Amino acid sequence: MDLGERAESLAQEVIAPLVLGGPLTLQRPFGPKLALEVGVERALLDHELSTRIDHARLRQARTVVAVDVLPGLGAAEWAIAAAFNDLLQVTNHELSSFATRNRHQELLEAAVVLCRAIPTSNSLEEAVARYATFSRALRVTRTDVDVTWWTGSDNFRGQEPPSRLMAWPGLRKVNITKQAVGLTEMSAGTPVVAQAFDQALSQWCSLSPLSDLASAARHAPQFAWSDHTLSIVASQAGCNLALRAFDDATNLEDAAVTRAVTAMNAAAAQLPAGSRAQALAVGYAKQLAAMDAYWDHAAGA
């Protein structure tokens, strides 16, 4: 499969579901080199799908800023999508056999290398474009199916059980249990340490800084300040975009604001004391808390 075919499959099976919704189908791992090349001067051949993606991205962008047009998918967004695919592949139990269990760790390390190689947004417009593409990524779940029958049981992670196991359900006493597994829990049962996977996922989240800031109230992966998010809150215009994204994601629900401010301040404490980065982080957390207090006061007036 050549680079164009890999790109088209990535768009159809990963990017489109992230933007439009629907089932996501993992692609073969890309690795850093291919991921950074796949979106260079790239345009989708499926024009109908391209139009649907563009319209959906524009609708999402308008939740934080009034825009009439949005740049098409840039090389960085293609690379971010490839990195997301590779992180999900880390959780794929069929990635390795008993003799090749190190493949999970090797792919995780490669995904981290890729995330570090993707540059920060060059402008607020690019940050909004990334938000429009990846704001829903942390909502991705995997459906696991447990099947038991009179002589045994089996578990299928993200796959439908074979029809033979479902035959004669009454006679064979077949019982089927489905469970939605969240993104941060998908690495359970693989050779990868959960903490290492969470750290990699946190680094991936930072690549779409508005999405990262909007989801700072999440329980996992733990929010951490990065060059990407700090570049957003370095200007008041960027702070305003981040505040709108958080509002759109949480409706400024009090518990969410409290969790986010706590997480942001804890992450700020890890930055060099007295640095400009720490001042920016603390300052943004104060703005978020102040906005929440303002709306609470306005609602009670």
Segment 78-91 mean pLDDT: 96
Segment 274-284 mean pLDDT: 97
Whole-angstrom distance between the N-terminal and C-terminal Cα of the chain?
63
Residue 263 has pLDDT above 90, yes or no: yes
The reported pLDDT for the residue numbered 297 is 46
Residue 152 has pLDDT above 80, yes or no: yes
Its pTM surpasses 0.85 = yes
CA 3 centroid distance within chain: 24
Residue 101 has pLDDT above 70, yes or no: no
Let me know: does 88 contact 186? Beta carbons within 8 Å.
Answer: yes
Alpha-carbon distance of 207 to 224, in angstroms, equals 12
- State yes or no: cis peptide before 71, omega within 30 of 0: no
Alpha-carbon distance of 131 to 77, in angstroms, equals 10
177: β partners: 146
- Summarize pLDDT for 232-250 with one digit per residue, the tens: 999 999 999 999 999 999 9
Minimum mean pLDDT among 4-8, 149-153, 194-198: which range?
A: 149-153
Residue 301 has pLDDT above 60, yes or no: no
Let me know: does 175 contact 151? Beta carbons within 8 Å.
Answer: no
**291 or 140, which is more confident?**
140
Residues in the chain: 301
Percent of the chain with pLDDT strictly greater than 90: 70
- Summarize pLDDT for 16-33 with one digit per residue, the tens: 999 999 999 999 999 999
Residue 79 CB coordination number (10 Å): 25
